[in-house]
Amino acid sequence: MLSDCFPRPLCENPVTMEFQEMKSLSGIRSNTAMAAVMSPHLQYMSMSAL
């Protein structure tokens, strides 16, 4: 029963879980795409070159 679950914060709500999963996956795709198009902003050098 939903009323039995409502006051408890650890109760699972399918609608909330679906929304969180959807937002999480879209954030991962967005971050992956952003990382793929960005070039490193620091030049890496070998320590032996110094």
**Residues 44, 22: Cα–Cα separation, whole Å:** 37
Q: Give the count of domains, the chain.
A: 1
Look at residue 36 and tell me if it is in a domain. Answer: yes
Task: Give me the domain span that covers residue 34.
Answer: 14-49
**Residue-level pLDDT, tens digit, the chain, 50 residues:** 455 555 566 666 666 666 666 666 666 666 666 766 665 666 667 677 55
CA 48 vs CA 41, 42, 43: distances in Å: 21, 18, 15
Q: Are 11 and 5 in contact (CB under 8 A)?
A: yes
The amino acid at residue 23 is K
Look at residue 3 and tell me if it is in a domain. Answer: no
Would you state the pLDDT for residue 43? 67
Look at residue 44 and tell me if it is in a domain. Answer: yes
Would you state the pLDDT for residue 41? 60
- The label of the residue with tokens 């879209």 reads 26
Would you state the pLDDT for residue 47? 73
